[in-house]
Structure 1
Amino acid sequence: MNKQQSGLLYGLFAYIIWGALPIYWGWMRQASAFEIISHRAIWSLVVCWAALAFRHELKEALRILRNPRMFLLLALTAGLVSGNWAIYIWSVTVDRIVESSLGYYITPLMNVAFGVIILREKMRKLQWLAVAIATIGVIALTYDYGQLPLIALGLACTWGLYSVIKKKLKVDPLIGLAIETIFASLPTIFYLTRLEIQGDAQFGNGLWISLGLATAGFATVLPLLAFNNAAVRLPLTTLGLMQYITPTVMFLVGVFINHEQMSGSRWIGFLTIWLALSVLATDMVRSGRPGDQGITQA
């Protein structure tokens, strides 16, 4: 197996696992969304730092943590990724997986918009066309839902801003997540302690729910490690195109496993978004410049 073939396998593993995670989070729905998020943060902290120790990168992580600018920016990205996790896991627990898939579909378009607004990047003609088509799709979905698709927009905005800041930081994804989970874990420790004192915690209230919560760190970190291996073996354009695998798997999970309803106008909205993404993908291939490194989730 050559370098590119192994890179494709790593990439497929990462993106398919990210897309299938709603099944995993839904399996633990007897716990509240915030208890799941709290365990995800704490166990991700443990797994990330163990992985850094295994890779002999603890010194590099601590060096970054001691840099005041990096410290503040990673505290900010920790808030964004925590918000993204909260919206995402809550959407799964209330059977809104299809809408959360929409959020990750429109994230690349949101990255383009934030690139223009924050980084002063210039949009190419096909990017303008993609954003215009996507706007029509969002309007169609707003009509269908009777309100703005707030879950989708929340996911796209938090992850889009997260991506823009991480793009400027140029920190290894695993090191970045390891530091972010320090900040994310601090409030969750108090929350979980309160749950335990009140007797409302689901952790320890059965083998399977406890096992599911305790392995949330592996579910978060393993696809990220696979993505890292794919990133050093594949062109960024290939990774940029592969990122659409994740929301597609999420969409299929929502429709065919979770049996969420898809009205005619909802199909029209999604078809319009898919058309916009095909235009964006065409621009990506022509220019050879993916909007980001194709990371769909942390």
Structure 2
Amino acid sequence: MNGPASPPRQSGLAAGLSAYFIWGFLPLYLILVREVPAFEFVGWRIIWTLPICLAIVAFRRQGPQVCAALASGRSLVTLAASSALIGANWLVYVWAIQNDQVYAASLGYYINPLINVLLGTFVLGEKLSRRQWLAVAVAAAGVALLLGGALTTLWISLSLGLSFGTYGLLRKQVDVGALPGLTVESALLLVPAAGVAWWYAASPAGSSFAQSTELSLAIVLGGVLTAIPLLLFAIAARRMDYSTLGFLQFLAPTIVFILGLTVFEQPLQPVQLACFVLIWAAIAIFVWDILARRKADKVLQA
């Protein structure tokens, strides 16, 4: 008798798309909290993410899984590393948006899928087809164009791409569920986050959280907009090929790129437009390959 069928490889697609849509439009939210210093905002973001995670854990009765993750030395070390990476990623991203470096932030997440592909291929042993390698080459050419014209902000782009790519790789390898893992990460970051919030509260300017009800509510919303997409991403990372998940991520920086051009009204240089076209061409090639393989599988199964 055959065992239960394994879940389809693309079962994490909906979760991945949802996460990247939220992240893509996140700069619109950051406009509401622009007056909050980046360090302070990230501190409050962590503080308000944890209770949301705990509430969902309680609702889903996943407390034993959180306790198991805390009791496992290997899992705890891995989650400590992933929490440090995601905390650094948040800080760089918020700082970039607050300082009108929207295109640099967008470029960071254009680079990230290429990093994911390399990690998936050389670390996890995943295989790419010829069309997928072609897509990698086209996307790399587009990123190279932007790198040539964005040297002064290169640290922003590389920091974002490397930190999130490595974060996703660690979360895929640790044997902890999506929500319990995120809860532990938030708990590990709570002490430094509380220290940052206390430091700003003790400063002459005072805490941003106490300035107005509207700003306080906007800061609390940051916890929701942190927990939900990260949970969705963790689900997708555990269910999908990491290289496929990497190309799916082109969605978020494309949205950010368009927001930079429209809402933030940053000038678009010809080299940036050329990069935009090449990257979308790479996505088209990658999607073409996925559809072609699905069609071939259906023929074999017929």
1:112 aligns with 2:117: yes
Query: Cα distance 1:146–1:156, how it changes in 2: closer, same or farther (>3 A)?
Result: closer
| Higher alpha-carbon deviation: 151-160 or 243-252 | 243-252
Amino acid at match of 2:210: G
Partner of residue 218 from structure 2, selected from 209, 212, 215 = 212
How far the C-alpha of 1:16 sits from its partner, in A, is 2.7
Are 1:52 and 2:57 counterparts?
yes
Distance 2:258 2:141 in 1: 23
Query: 2: distance between equivalents of 1:143 and 1:227?
Result: 31
TM-score normalised by the chain length of structure 1:
0.82
Conservation of the 8 A alpha-carbon contact between 2:182 and 2:231:
no
Secondary structure of 2:183's counterpart equals helix
Q: Which of 152, 167, 172 is the equivalent residue of 2:177?
A: 172
Cα deviation, 1:185-230, whole Å, max 9, x if unaligned, reads 2212111111111233211012222111122111222345667899
1:269 equivalent to 2:267? Answer no
Identify which of 63, 68, 74 aligns with 2:73: 68
**What SS does the aligned partner of 1:203 have?**
helix
Q: Which amino acid is the alignment partner of residue 74 of structure 1?
A: L
Answer whether contact 1:109 1:130 (CA < 8 A) is retained: no
Give the greater-gyration-radius structure (CA).
Answer: 2
1:92 Cα deviation from its structure 2 partner = 1.1
Q: Which is further off, 145-154 or 135-144?
A: 145-154
Q: Give distance in 2, aligned partners of 1:202 and 1:187.
A: 17
CA contact (8 A) 2:45 2:219 kept: yes
Aligned partner of 2:3 in structure 1 is none
Q: Is the 8 A contact 1:141 1:148 kept in 2?
A: no
Residues 237 and 170 of structure 1: is their aligned pair in 2 closer, same or farther, counting only changes over 3 Å? Answer: same
Q: Which amino acid aligns with 1:265?
A: V
Match of 1:137 in 2: 142
Does structure 1 retain, via aligned residues, the 8 Å contact 2:86–2:164? yes
Letter of the 1:206 partner, please give it.
S
Q: How many residues align?
A: 282
- Answer whether contact 1:112 1:127 (CA < 8 A) is retained: no
Q: Say whether 1:195 aligns with 2:174.
A: no
**1:4: which partner in 2?**
none
**How far apart, CA to CA, are the structure 1 residues paired with 2:132 and 2:236?**
26
**Cα distance, 1:283 vs structure 2:** 3.7
Partner of 2:297: none
CA contact 2:83–2:189 (8 Å) conserved in 1: yes
Moved more, 57-66 or 70-79: 57-66
1:293 — aligned with what?
Answer: none
Partner of 2:251: 245
Calculate the aligned-residue CA RMSD, in Å: 3.1
Distance in 2 separating the partners of 1:140 and 1:118: 27
Aligned to 1:279: 285
Amino acid at match of 1:90: W
- The 2-side partners of 1:232 and 1:116 are apart by 16
1:14-29 → structure 2 map (5 Å cutoff): 14-29=19-34
Query: What's the offset of the Cα at 1:274?
Result: 2.4
Task: For 2:141, give the aligned amino acid.
Answer: I
User: 1:52–1:175: 8 Å Cα contact kept in structure 2?
Assistant: yes
Any idea what SS the aligned residue of 1:119 has? coil
> How far did residue 162 of structure 1 move?
1.0
**Range 113-122 or range 189-198, more displaced:** 113-122
Task: Give the Cα separation in 2 of the matches to 1:71 and 1:171.
Answer: 10
- Quick one: structure 1 residues 165 and 224, their matched pair in 2 at CA, closer, same or farther if it must change by over 3 Å? closer
Deviation (angstroms), 1:109 = 1.8
TM-score by length of structure 2 reads: 0.81
In structure 1, the gaps of 5 or more residues are 1-6, 289-298
Tell me the distance in 2 between the aligned counterparts of 1:150 and 1:287. Answer: 37
Distance 1:231 1:164, change over 3 A: closer
| CA–CA distance in structure 1, aligned partners of residues 266 and 97 of structure 2 | 11
Contact persistence 1:255–1:262 (CA under 8 A): yes
Residues 236 and 246 from structure 1, CA distance in 2 versus in 1: closer, same or farther, beyond 3 angstroms? Answer: same
- Quote the Cα distance in structure 1 between the aligned partners of 2:134 and 2:17: 29
Runs of 5+ in structure 2 lacking a partner? 1-11, 295-302
**Offset of 1:34 from its aligned partner?**
0.8
